Amino acid sequence: MTVVSNTSPLLNLALIGRLALIEAQFDEVVIPLTVWHEIQAGAAGVDQIESLRDRGGLRIVSPESTELLTELQRELDAGEAAALAYAIDTDAERILLDEREGRAAASRHDVPVTGVVGILLRASRQDGLDLESELNTLRDAGFWIADDLYERALALDRE
């Protein structure tokens, strides 16, 4: 079972101190080297993500350049395109990404998507995490969550 991630879910979970949810919910997460370079280019959260890699919860791969990757690079940023192309090429169980364009492209290719809000929602349901508090912390850290998604996540959590 392969779970592939883009940069955003990893960095945003690291920013709010919830990167351990990745290990709790997935046996291993794979990222293309392009995503790793995006992570390394930042400052905040990098140490936590490196620690996740060092513990074996994150594996970095160097996928081949393919026609699919080239096609996806026309509409997505480099990390999203690399992650999605790798997810498609390896028949991944799911991809972790947040950006609207990337989610739409994943949907067109029938790749199941989970974003940071979905990871938090799952943790709330399984472990009793206070979803509203975590979503507010995520917003305070600079992650944009549309009001309708915020309300929908809280409604799902109450079900």
Tokens, residue 102: 């990337």
Tokens, residue 101: 């364009």
Q: State the DSSP code for 19.
A: T
In this prediction the pTM is 0.91
The length of the chain is: 159
pLDDT, residue 42, reads 75
Instruction: With beta carbons less than 8 A apart as the criterion, state whether 14 and 45 touch.
Output: yes
The answer to whether residue 137 scores a pLDDT higher than 90 is yes
Taking the mean position of all CA atoms in its chain, how far away is CA 125? 19
Closest C-alpha to 58, from 105, 98, 91, 9: 9
Tokens, residue 115: 């974003």
User: What are the pLDDT digits (tens) for 93-113?
Assistant: 999 999 999 999 999 999 999
CA distance 139 to 86: 29
CA distance 85 to 68: 6
Angle, in degrees to the nearest 10, between helices 7-15 and 33-41: 40
User: Where in the chain is CATH 3.40.50.1010?
Assistant: 3-115
User: What are the pLDDT digits (tens) for 43-99?
Assistant: 678 899 999 999 999 999 998 888 989 999 999 999 999 999 999 999 999 999 999
Query: What is the second-level CATH architecture of the domain 3-115?
Result: 3-Layer(aba) Sandwich (3.40)
pLDDT, residue 27, reads 87
